Chain A
Amino acid sequence: MIARSLSMRMPAILLVLTALSFGPTAGHADDYPDGCISCHVSEKLSGAAASRIDLLLASVGHSKAGERTLVIPDGCQRCHAPDDKGTATALGKLIHVVHFRGGAENRFLKRYKGDCSFCHRMDTSDWEVVAKSGERNWGVKVGAAD
C-alpha cells in the first residue's frame, strides 16, 4: 500500500527535489565571470546590452592608451591607479560613480539591480573583495569593430 502510494507520488516528489536542487545552484551561478567584458558586449553604442568598452571609450574621447590594454580592468590601472597616484582618477572610484550616480535612473541599478557581484568577487583565500578581470573583447584599434 505504502509502496503503491509512493510510486504514485514519485513524479511530484522528483519535481520538488529537482526544483530544490536547481534553486540554490542557480542562485550562485555567475553570469559575469570576467567582470566588465562579460557585460559590456554590445557592438552598438545604445541598445539593450551594455556597449563594448572600446566603443564607450572612443565615444568619450579617451586617449588611445586603451589600445595597449589587454586585460580589463587590470591594465586600466596603469594610469587609473587605485591609490590615486596615477595620471588619471582611480579606476574604482570612477567606475562606481558611472554605475551608481543618478540613483534608480542609472541603468546599472535599473536593469542590473546594482549588484556588486557582477563586477567584484570574494577571494576566499583572504576574504578580500577583488575586481573580476578578463582579456579584452575587442581588436587592436580603439573604436573599431573586431
Chain B
Amino acid sequence: MKERIRVLWLAIAVGLLAVAGLAVADDFPEGCVSCHGQTSSEADFRLNALLTQIGHRWIKTLKEIPEDCGKCHSGDDQEKTFMAMIHEIHYDVPKANLFTTRYGGECLHCHSMNVETGEAALKSGPKNW
C-alpha cells in the first residue's frame, strides 16, 4: 500500500514538473534556424533557400545564424540597418505577415532574456542546411 502511495506521489510530482516545464518551454531555442525550417507539407523556409531566391552572396560561408551574418552586416549603421530589415520583414503589414498572424509576432521567438541582468539578446544556432 505504502509503495503504491509512493508511486502515486512520484507520478504527481513528475506531472507537475512536466506542466511547469511546458509553461516555460521555448519552441525556438536557437532563434532563426529553429523557425526557418522545412517541412514535408510546406515550402522551404530555410534561410539558405530564402537568401538564394533574392540572389544573396556568401551563403556558404555562414555557420552560426545570425551571428555570422554580422561579419558583413556589421558596424553601427550596417548593424542597425540589418536589425531594421529583419524587424521590417517580420512586422510589416501585420494583418498579412506570417510572423504576426501565425507566430503572434512574439519577440521572444528570436530574442532571449537574461532574467538576472535584464539584458535582451539575440538567440543563435548552427545553420540547418
Give A contacts to B, CB under 8 Å: 24-25, 27-28, 92-97, 100-104, 109, 114-117, 120, 122, 124, 126-129
Contacts and interface: CB of A to CB of B under 8 A. Distances in A.
A101 B115 contact: yes
Interface residues of B, number: 26
A127 B91 contact: yes
A108 to B, nearest CB: 11
Interface of B: 20, 23-24, 80, 83-85, 87-88, 91-92, 94-95, 100-101, 105-108, 113, 115-120
A24 B100 CA distance: 10
A-B CB proximity, top 6 nearest:
A93-B118, A96-B118, A127-B84, A127-B87, A104-B23, A116-B107
Nearest to B20: A104
A103 B118 contact: no
Contacts of A127: 83-85, 87-88, 91
A109 to B, nearest CB: 8
A94 to B, nearest CB: 6
Contacts of A126: 84
Contact of B94 (A28, A97, A102, A120): A28
A97 B87 contact: no
Contacts of B20: 104
Contacts of A103: 23-24, 115
Contact of B24 (A101, A104, A115, A122): A104
A28 B94 CA distance: 8
Contacts of B23: 103-104
